[in-house]
Amino acid sequence: MKTLYDKIWDRHLVHAEVGKPSLLYIDLHLIHEVTSPQAFEGLRLAGRKLRRPDLTFGTIDHAIPTVNRNLPFKDPIAAQQVATLRENCREFGVKLYDLDRIEQGIIHVFGPEQGLTHPGMTIVCGDSHTSTHGAFGALAFGIGTSEVEHVFATQCLQQDRAKNFRINVEGELPFGVTSKDIILGIINEIGANGGVGHVIEYAGSTIRDLSMEGRMTVCNMSIEGGAKAGLIAPDDTTFEYVSGKPFAPKGEDWERAVANWKTLTTDDGSHFDKIVDIDAAALEPFVTWGTSPDMSVKVSDNVPDLSHARDENEVRSFERMYQYMGLEPSQPIDKINIDRAFIGSCTNSRIEDLRDAAKVVKGYNISNRVNAMVVPGSMQIKRQAEEEGLARIFIDAGFEWRDAGCSMCLAMNEDILQPGERCASTSNRNFEGRQGRGGRTHLVSPIMAAAAAITGHFVDVRNWKFKD
């Protein structure tokens, strides 16, 4: 009896030896400008070649501007980094989806959208949110630059087997509660290090009922719970999403692939080192209040007071967070005013996210004290949203409508919070300074961010008056 994780592991085992890490084959290597230059340089210095350029794909996302991308970058160092990626891809024969391509986008939006992500694959990228691809039943995880170089040179990684962690989410999601709230609720439950050393398999009826976009949102933030990776067993929803994508198998290959993918489920009675059950009916929209992704509360709750801290160390963390976030203990969440709203990132920038947010926005204007922007996950999504009329809704309401990129999720470009600014953000990390030095990030779902942009403070989107 094997878990899904064990099955994928076993199918990629190149070499195993007692007392040493195993050698695991990597099916797909995604690269971007920030974590690859030193790896390419390492190859060059050692006189090694890139073993499988045909399994390596690049795009540009982290440090690029989301306006005027055709003009020279304002930041000469970022410009040099992008130029370096272009040169490296040319020299080593890697296919690069550059800024002039419709396919360009955030690497974890791009891969699935192009059909590069298949169930059962092993996928790595020098980016911790590689866990996103686990939504397809692929074993996908982030690696550092040394490992990027290792994969370049060998198409393998030295790995130790992780533990199995199952999270069952059962029941129907209440209205206004989204996949983002599922994962924020899970992280709240297990803690920011609850998944360390584990691969999480998300299962249960709620997960089954999610779209691929929703599943990607859940798996994306596995790393925020400390997990090595997140996995969801592939099913018809998965196959339907992959089908017809540019790099999806075609014809007979497709039939063979699907037959194989259908075997990618956890066998009944498999052993899990850890199991957590979540009741979907008890979930609400979540809002983070602190500077760690597990520091969240339900929208109907208040900022926790010190009586909620588990120990003395946590008392000190809470005190530090109140101060950094400019919040008072027991302050109601819907009394928190925001200055900025950011809808985007590899967590929540897909077409479904934009459709949901647009429904909330339709017929409203954003608050005059809020600066809000929508940054689609790829240029393809941008175009689709324009064709569907979503862009018009956002623009008419006062949102800025940007080009694809990581943007203010990590603020490596000029999309950045000013000190003290407070942001309702659909991204994945509320760390100190993540969106700009002194910036205050509250993680929420796209519909919660949209509603906050309109009212100027957090509101319970379950009570939203939709204008059709």
Partner 1 sequence: MDKFETIKGLVAPLFQANIDTDQIIPKQFLTRIERTGYGAFLFNDWRLNSDGSPKPNFVLNDQRYAGASILVAGANFGCGSSREHAPWSLLDYGFRVVIAPSFGDIFFNNSLKNGLLPVRLDEKIVNRLVEDTQTIDGYSLTIDLENKTVADASGVIATFEIDEFRRYCLLNGLDDIGLTLQHEEKITAFESKAGR
d(CA 365, CA 368): 8
The least distance separating partner 1 from the CB of residue 218, rounded to whole angstroms, comes to: 18
| Complex with partner 1: residue 120 or 214, whichever CB lies closer | 120
DSSP string, 368-400: TT-EEEE--SBHHHHHHHHHTTHHHHHHHHT-E
CA distance 140 to 131: 5
Which one of 50, 116, 219, 223 is in contact with partner 1 (CB under 8 A)? 223
Is residue 227 within 8 Å of 131, Cβ to Cβ?
yes
User: What character string, x for contact with partner 1 (CB under 8 A) and - otherwise, covers 95-134?
Assistant: -------------------------------xxx------
Residues pairing with 198 in the sheet? 163
On whether the CB atoms of residues 140 and 124 are closer than 8 A, the answer is yes
Please answer whether residues 66 and 413 qualify as being in contact, where contact means their C-beta atoms are separated by less than 8 angstroms. Answer: yes
Region 321-380 residues binding partner 1, contact defined as CB under 8 A: none
Residue 361: burial class (beta carbons within 10 Å; 0-12, 13-18, 19+):
buried
If one asks whether residue 38 binds partner 1 (CB under 8 A), the answer comes out as yes
Position 147 contacts partner 1 (CB under 8 A): yes
Q: Which of 44, 95, 320, 335: binder of partner 1 (CB under 8 A)?
A: 320
Give the whole-angstrom CA distance, residue 88 versus residue 373: 33
Question: Token digits for 130?
Answer: 């590689």
327 token code pair: 């919040």
Between 431 and 466, CB nearer to partner 1: 431
Pick one of 144, 244, 332, 420: the residue that binds partner 1 (CB under 8 A).
144
| 463 touching partner 1, by CB under 8 A | no
Kindly indicate which of the ranges 72-80, 93-101, 207-215, 392-400 contains the residues binding partner 1, using the contact rule CB under 8 A. 72-80
Q: Which residues between 167 and 196 bind partner 1 (CB under 8 A)?
A: 192-193, 196
Distance (Å, rounded) from C-alpha 55 to C-alpha 231?
A: 21
State the nearest-atom distance from the C-beta of 208 to partner 1, in Å.
28
Binding to partner 1 by residue 48, rule CB under 8 A?
Answer: yes
Among 2, 53, 84, 163, binds partner 1 (CB under 8 A): 84
Order of all β-strands in the sheet with 139-142: 95-97, 56-59, 28-31, 122-125, 139-142
Residues 6 or more apart whose CB falls under 8 angstroms from that of 204 comprise 167, 168, 169, 170, 278
256 is an interface residue for partner 1 by CB under 8 A = no
Least separation in angstroms between residue 202's CB and partner 1 is 18
Tokens for 275? 């199991």
Q: At closest approach, how far in Å is the CB of 375 from partner 1? A: 16
Candidates 149, 353, 356, 415: give the one binding partner 1 (CB under 8 A).
149
Nearer to partner 1, 303 or 410 (CB): 410
Nearer to partner 1, 127 or 201 (CB): 127
3-state secondary structure of 279: strand
Binding segment for partner 1 (CB under 8 A), chosen from 150-158, 176-184, 363-371, 397-405, is 150-158
Number of residues that bind partner 1 (CB under 8 A): 65
* Least Å from the CB of residue 47 to partner 1: 12
Q: Which is nearer to partner 1, 18 or 71 (CB)?
A: 18
Burial of 141 (0-12, 13-18, 19+ CB in 10 A): buried
Query: What are the two backbone dihedrals, phi and then psi, of residue 357, each rounded to the nearest 5 degrees?
Result: -65, -40
DSSP label of 162: P
Q: At a CB cut-off of 8 Å and minimum separation 6, what does 195 contact?
A: 165, 222, 225, 226, 227, 228
- The verdict on 314 binding partner 1 (CB under 8 A) reads yes
**Residue 154: half-sphere exposure toward Cβ, Cα within 13 Å:** 14
Nearer to partner 1, 382 or 434 (CB): 434
Least separation in angstroms between CB 78 and partner 1: 4
**201 is a site residue for partner 1 (CB under 8 A):** no
| SS3 state of residue 95 | strand
Instruction: Please return the burial class of 459, using the count of CB atoms within 10 Å of its CB with bins 0-12, 13-18 and 19+.
Output: middle
Decide if residue 90 touches partner 1 (CB under 8 A).
Answer: no
Under a CB-based contact definition with an 8 Å cutoff, are residues 435 and 344 in contact? no
62 binds partner 1 (CB under 8 A): yes
Does 456 contact partner 1 by CB under 8 A?
no
- In the complex with partner 1, the residue whose CB is nearer, 38 or 211, is 38
Contact set with partner 1 (CB under 8 A): 11, 14-15, 19-21, 23, 25, 27, 34-35, 37-38, 41, 46, 48, 52, 55, 62-63, 75, 77-78, 80-81, 84, 126-128, 142-147, 149-150, 153-156, 158, 160, 192-193, 196-197, 223, 226, 228, 292, 313-314, 316-317, 320, 410-412, 429, 431-434, 437
